Structure 1
């Protein structure tokens, strides 16, 4: 299962400020041994794609590539000693970007860049650096504890101790994240809405909802009210809205929730069009490993039970080209739709927090069952449990 959270969802904005073509990223680090691998990833909506990796030599690494738009990339360190986070790096055509750092706390590495989005990120980072470092260190501790708890020979008593330690780290991390967001909100209150501003607002809204922080939610609502109509209609704006004002989630026994969907050819569809058979809704993303693992079983179900069952895959990627590429690679032959709203549209009506997420619907259009995650054979077992009654 892949949780979809604010750390890995962002809008990409085009710009004409730079000549089209090559970007260059160079890094100079101390306190990190040579042979350490540094990876560059690109954020394509909900999907993180590895662009390149480089091995540190004499403290240096570098990446070059081409882009025709301003886009969000991430830099990560590939070893257990790095925190479970990354450095946001905004690139643009023609941009030359320099990175420096003195430890493995990547989130607070320094970035020199002509890209205005990066300069804005740097402003927020400077205001929160001390707390960001605390937070990164806590993610390292949590990763170490979690790695130990997964060992096969661990005793029940030790497992109990580790769970308590993880809970303690999580509580500390939550407190530190509130300190970070409080300082970011202070900046947001004094600055205009921008790409980065919206990204920060989404982070605050996510922590307010899932961290159960009502005071933070109230501050996020005040900030949300500053958005104009166009900003509210953006994918990020809609995601913020459903985080702050969650829609009513449909439950077992209730009628299905419906929406306007389109297939990859642009044809309009509704779930109600397929009443009369059992429906299996498959909420998926191209960046979700278990979602992709489930594709052969979905095809098997679609082919073998076509007289009883209609399989409908509902993609939650925010960029159509990502949805299209994944669909073509996996050779999806069954019904494959999207409302174009990521996690803010129909996914919110079904209470989707993690994917793959499945919903079983009766021929009369009533919700029979919902579940999250995939293991081989699990879909067949679930579907047969309903269709053979």
Structure 2
């Protein structure tokens, strides 16, 4: 269950989608998804979107639950079929797929066939299903208050998280056993920090072309063999661009405290963090420079969310996505992740995830010490 959250966290690869003409569709064999979602109302609109690039691929209106998607992808990629508030992940490549699912808990009950990567995903889901079933059982008991007292509720919570941990262990082990696949490489990249450099190096040796040139493999190589940012060490300089296209270099800010924050437009905790920064911004801006680094490759999504979140400080990106070099160098696995850099260019604090009670307080503790 937790693996699903990891799969949808974070997100991005270098895909190009060709929907430009009928001629292009005939020239290149694309994908076809024939599907049925039981329980969906007649005329319901459903969408096909990429998870990493956060781009729209196709949409259609269901006919008594039946639908068909068509298109082309330049490489296998994880996508999401969305219907109302429900969705299911499909490992899309240029072949024919069959998709059936009930609307309720569509992700859990979906049956999908077609393509080598989807076959691997089905194997993984079968391995995780016992733990996912337990997790759902415990979650239903908690949500429906089927517990006797506080201790019983605590027991159910612990059992729920234990089932999620077991499913996550299965997920990571599956990635280790299938490094020569897009799905396997994606799992390895998402869990690279816990897996470790030595194991990643060994697994990369098993990867064949064309996978060696994939964004996931390149990102793993940068992690395994490159320099990584860490507390107590100098920051790693980089170049990026603002929304207006202006070149930005981190070294241009040396001599000031810097809060370097990695985020994604689809990340709710990231937006909570921005709300907290905005609340204290007039006080913070005299103490440090804030740099928010967007990891989504979708510029329009980045721009729209930046405006909505009222980002009034430095806002940059390389638009390389989830497997980008800068994100990898800064060891960003979950978001938001932030680094506090002192005037000498040394990373003095890291913030993993967002904690409303300690985030601003810790920043001011460190910057105020220097002022004294």
**How does the TM-score come out when normalised to structure 1?**
0.68
Indicate which of 47, 64, 67 corresponds to 1:62.
Answer: 67
What is the aligned partner in structure 1 of residue 341 from structure 2? Answer: 361
Match of residue 236 from structure 2: 257
Which of these residues, 75, 83, 94, is aligned with residue 81 of structure 2? Answer: 75
Residues 90 and 299 (structure 1), Cα distance of their counterparts in 2 relative to 1, 3 Å cut: farther
TM-aligned CA deviation for residue 177 of structure 1? 6.4
Task: Indicate the residue corresponding to 2:325 in structure 1.
Answer: 345
String of CA shifts for 1:40-78, please: whole Å, max 9, x gaps. Answer: 351263647798797x885x243679x797686312577
**Count of residue correspondences:** 350
Matched residue SS, 1:388: helix
- Report the Cα distance in structure 2 between the residues aligned to 1:377 and 1:165, rounded to whole angstroms: 26
Unaligned regions of 5+ residues in structure 1, if any? Answer: 112-121, 189-196
Which residue of structure 1 aligns with residue 16 of structure 2? 13
Equivalent residue, structure 2, for 1:194? none
Corresponding residue to 1:171 among 163, 166, 171? 166
Structure 2 stretches of 5 or more lacking a match? 26-30
Segment of structure 1 superposing worse, 160-169 or 234-243:
160-169
How big is the shift at 1:284?
0.9
Instruction: Indicate the SS of the match to 1:365.
Output: coil
Q: Tell me, in whole angstroms, the C-alpha distance in 2 between the residues paired with 1:110 and 1:3.
A: 19
Cα distance change of structure 1 residues 126 and 379 upon mapping to structure 2, 3 Å threshold: closer
Residues 181-207 of structure 1 deviation map (CA, whole Å, 9 limit, x = unaligned): 64x55xx4xxxxxxxx44542324545
Q: 1:129 to 1:246 in 2, by over 3 A?
A: same
Map 1:259-274 → 2, pairs under 5 A: 259-274=238-253
Corresponding position of 1:282: 261
Partners in 2 of 1:372 and 1:208 — Cα distance?
16
C-alpha change, 1:334 and 1:178, in structure 2 (3 Å) is closer
Residue 371 of structure 1 aligns to a residue in which SS? Answer: strand
User: Structure 1 residues 39 and 219 mapped into 2: Cα distance closer, same or farther (>3 Å)?
Assistant: farther
Structure 1 residue 165 displacement after superposition = 6.1
Take 1:224 and 1:318, find their aligned partners in 2: how far apart are those partners? 25
> TM-score under structure 2 normalisation?
0.71
Alignment partners' CA distance in 2, 1:18 and 1:220 = 40
* Displacement after TM superposition at 1:317 (Å): 1.5
Asked if 1 retains the 8 angstrom alpha-carbon contact of 2:78 and 2:89, the reply is no
1:316 deviation in Å?
A: 1.4
Residue in structure 2 matching 1:202, options 168, 182, 186: 186
The CA distance in 2 between the partners of 1:127 and 1:373, in whole Å, is: 31
Give me the CA root mean square deviation.
4.6
Give 1:192's aligned residue. none
Q: Equivalents in 2 of 1:239, 1:294: separation in Å? A: 27
Instruction: Using the TM superposition, give the Cα deviation of residue 283 of structure 1 relative to its aligned residue in structure 2, in angstroms.
Output: 1.1
Q: Give 1:208 shift.
A: 6.6
**CA 1:180–1:279: 2 relative to 1, 3 Å:** closer
